[in-house]
Structure 1
Amino acid sequence: MVRQLSWALLACGCRMPGPIALPQEKMATEKPVTPTEEQLEILEYNFCKVNKHPDPTTLCLIAAETGLSEEQTLKWFKQRLAEWRKSEGLPSESGSVRD
């Protein structure tokens, strides 16, 4: 099963699961990408119905499905999570609710 998953990840151009970080220098030079309506539907579905905090493998698969890069997909999920937390009356940047 692990071997099949590894080949599937390689076939879709994804890296093996691990920590995902956005390089600071790349963020400044990268032009903002506005997802298409179809891409937004896929992203919203995964956010609302699947997982608000996708693991690296799931993030890779969502990126492959939408045609966005992993970095763009991660950035969208982070922004959407902050928006959702704000709508719920929670701090947008906090990882947990504190007393």
Structure 2
Amino acid sequence: MLPSPGCYRTGLGGGRAGTMSAEPASGPTQDQVDILEYNFNRVNKRPDPTTLCLIAAEAGLSEEETEKWFKQRLAQWRRSEGLPSECRSVTD
């Protein structure tokens, strides 16, 4: 698995690597969700930027889409565990 060229650039790019513009913007396909879920459940719920880049390349999504998916999925997981959807300071 090789990282996409966007992994080496910061603040540039966007869009899906290797996809056509005719694809609907309704979210990731089931295959992409399977890759994301596998990485969320078995690898890391909070991937570092390098790992996020590799997951994005594997799933064929942009880093931004992958990061957004992980943030939303983490909030969903935290709610299911009875935790607040976002981490807060212990003094809050």
Same fold per TM (> 0.5)? yes
Letter of the structure 1 residue corresponding to residue 72 of structure 2: Q
Higher helix share: 1
* Gap change, CA 1:81 and 1:89, over 3 Å in 2: same
- TM-score (norm. length: structure 2): 0.73
Query: Cα RMSD over matched residues?
Result: 2.3
Q: Which residue of 2 aligns with 1:93?
A: 86
Report the Cα distance in structure 2 between the residues aligned to 1:68 and 1:89, rounded to whole angstroms. 30
Number of residue pairs aligned between Structure 1 and Structure 2: 77
Q: Give the structure 1 partner of residue 57 of structure 2.
A: 64
Runs of 4+ in 1 over 6 A off after TM superposition: none
Higher relative contact order (Cα pairs below 8 Å, separated by 6+ residues): 2
Q: Which string of whole-angstrom CA distances, capped at 9 and with x for unpartnered residues, describes residues 34-78 of structure 1?
A: 110000000000000000000000000000001100000000000
TM-score by length of 1: 0.68
**1:73-92 alpha-carbon deviations (Å, 9 max, x no partner):** 00000000000000000000
Q: Give the 5 Å matches for 1:1-20.
A: 9=3, 12-13=4-5, 14-15=7-8
Cα drift, residue 33 of structure 1:
4.1
Unaligned runs of 5+ in 2: 12-23
Q: Percent identity?
A: 64
